[in-house]
Amino acid sequence: MGERRRLGVVALALACATAVSACVPLAPPPYATPSPVLATAAASSDDGFTHAERIALRVWAISCDAYRNGTAWMLDETHAVTNRHVVRDTTHIELTDYQGREYRVVSAEYSRDDDLALVTIDGTFPEAGTLASDEPALGDDLTVSGYALGGPLASVTGPYVDLRVNDLDPTGAEIYYLRLLAREGNSGSPVTDAAGDVVGVVFSSDGERYAGAVTLPRLEAFLADDAKRTEVDASC
Amino acid sequence: MTEDDPRGPNGPQPEPVPAPEAAQDSAPAPVPAQDSAPVPEPTPAPAPARRRGLAIALGLSLVAVVALAVPLAMLATARSTWEGQNDELRAHVESLTDEVSAQNARIAELEQTEAQLATLKEEYSSAVNQGAQGTELVEELEDIADAYQKCVEAQQEHFDVLRNSELYVRSSIDDSEQSIVAFCDEVTAAYQDFREKHG
């Protein structure tokens, strides 16, 4: 009899334990409510201009028979890159930055192969462009910052649509073909990717929808090889 | 019906039975076994079994009560916890809603500021550019003025030549005049271009 009673008690205890354990899931687990991410000001320049715009310079050059407008961009604190056709055969070159500061050009030299030129300024420039580590991919949005028609400074963005033969120099290197409006005065403008790094240099346009740019590998080759540059002859 | 009614209230009452005599001798008289019918064993009283049954029922009831009480207590606790958490979540949602509203208002302000900044940027660039262009226009005009000055000087020299034409070869005079006219025409054309370009 006593054994049976004990068994009964054990069975009852088990039943109770089962009932209690069945109730355990009823207790809600602790829930930490998520906190919203606080909005912060996007990283940008203090004055509203992009990095590409701040390194873009307005070029005004005088040749023996004409005045020219173009754009250049600072490669480092003393050198700026522009197009060969902007500085070739010029006797005088003036550079002006987005705030109107003027820089005197000490010397200029250009590429024999590509429409690229390197000018040296007197003094130092506070900012410099950064060359991209990779070429843009087809379809990437690229931005051209420069002084179309002699200014004011403006940026236009459009997709990189093709790597094609340069119609102005069919035997030369291929060029980036961009779907955006570049105009006279945009020659020498930096072409930047989404990160703001330079991937090319504008040198041609159909004046409507498309622009051509010197590619990143050609730009790197030009900057790396001093021997292939020709000094601008500043005499008429 | 009266008190005298012998039948009582509900009919005839049983006849009064004489009370059994009190046993004088409590010990039963011995009865010969053969002659008497077997007397059944007196059955044990049912009280202990019933008590045990009652105890078991009571125990089971207690267990049932406990078994119900525990989940009920757990449910009550869970409900209390849920309610507490629910209140907390509602408060948090309200707080988040306020925060989102504030952020939206801030975004709207920032968008407005961004638009204003873009306009200011354009105006600033335009003004800076006008400054740069102004300098260039002055330089271009100075160049044109210098060219006009050269034109005038050349014509002046040519007048002197013409005054003393006998000292010069005629063809040379003509060539010089053509050269001066061409130069002055170029200067005039440059000035016309300038006017057309810059108004």
Q: What is the CATH number of the domain that holds A205?
A: 2.40.10.10
My answer on whether A97 and A163 are in the same domain is no
Show residues of chain B in contact with A38, CB under 8 Å: 103
Residue A43 lies in a domain: no
Show residues of chain A in contact with B67, CB under 8 Å: 15-16, 19
Predicted confidence (pLDDT) per residue in B13-33, tens digit: 444 444 444 444 444 444 444
Q: Given CA atoms B155, B156, B162, B168 in this order, what sign does their dihedral have?
A: negative
My answer on whether A93 and A148 are in the same domain is no
Residue A198 lies in a domain: yes
| Of residues A15, A47, A102, nearest to B67 (C-beta) | A15
Show residues of chain B in contact with A19, CB under 8 Å: 67, 70-71
Q: Does the CB of B126 have a partner CB in chain A at under 8 Å?
A: yes
Q: In degrees, to the nearest 5, what angle opens at C-alpha A180 toward C-alphas A174 and A186?
A: 80
Helices B170-198 and B47-163: crossing angle in degrees, nearest 10, is: 150
Show residues of chain A in contact with B136, CB under 8 Å: 60, 67, 94
- How high is the pLDDT of residue B21? 45
What does R_g of chain A's alpha carbons equal in angstroms? 32
Residue A173 lies in a domain: yes
My answer on whether A122 and A153 are in the same domain is no
Predicted confidence (pLDDT) per residue in A38-48, tens digit: 665 554 567 88
Q: B70: nearest CA in chain A?
A: A20
Residue A185 lies in a domain: yes
My answer on whether A147 and A210 are in the same domain is yes
Asked if this assembly's ipTM is beyond 0.85, the reply is no
**Is B66–A16 a contact, with Cβ atoms under 8 angstroms apart?**
yes
Burial A150-180 (b: 16+ CB within 10 A, else e): bbbbbbbebebbeeeebeeeeeeeebbbbeb
Q: Tell me how close the Cα of A138 comes to any Cα of chain B, in angstroms.
A: 29
**Is B71–A23 a contact, with Cβ atoms under 8 angstroms apart?**
yes
Residue A59 lies in a domain: yes
- How high is the pLDDT of residue B50? 86
My answer on whether A60 and A168 are in the same domain is no
Q: Which domain holds residue A67?
A: 51-127+223-231
Predicted confidence (pLDDT) per residue in A194-215, tens digit: 999 999 999 999 989 999 999 9
Q: Does the CB of B61 have a partner CB in chain A at under 8 Å?
A: no
**Is A152–B122 a contact, with Cβ atoms under 8 angstroms apart?**
yes
Q: Minimum mean pLDDT among A15-19, A110-114, A197-201, B101-105: which range?
A: A15-19
Residue A56 lies in a domain: yes
Instruction: List phi, psi (to 5°) of A229.
Output: -100, 150
**Is A28–B78 a contact, with Cβ atoms under 8 angstroms apart?**
yes
Amino acid at A112: R
B-interface mutation test, from A68, A153, A156, most B Cβ less than 10 A away: A153
Distances in Å between the Cα of B91 and the Cα atoms of A10, A31, A32, B84, B85 are: 47, 14, 13, 11, 10
Q: A153: nearest CA in chain B?
A: B125
Q: Minimum mean pLDDT among A74-83, A106-115, B186-195: which range?
A: B186-195
Domain limits, chain B: 56-198
Q: What is the mean pLDDT of each run of 10 residues along chain B (199 residues)?
A: 43 46 46 52 69 90 90 89 89 90 91 88 90 86 92 92 88 91 92 85
My answer on whether A63 and A123 are in the same domain is yes
CA distance A90 to A108: 10
Amino acid at A176: Y
Contacts of B7 (CB under 8 A, 6+ apart): B13
Show residues of chain B in contact with A60, CB under 8 Å: 132, 136
Number of structural domains found in chain A: 2
Residue A131 DSSP label: B
Q: Tell me how close the Cα of A172 comes to any Cα of chain B, in angstroms.
A: 34
| Of residues B82, B85, B96, nearest to A36 (C-beta) | B96
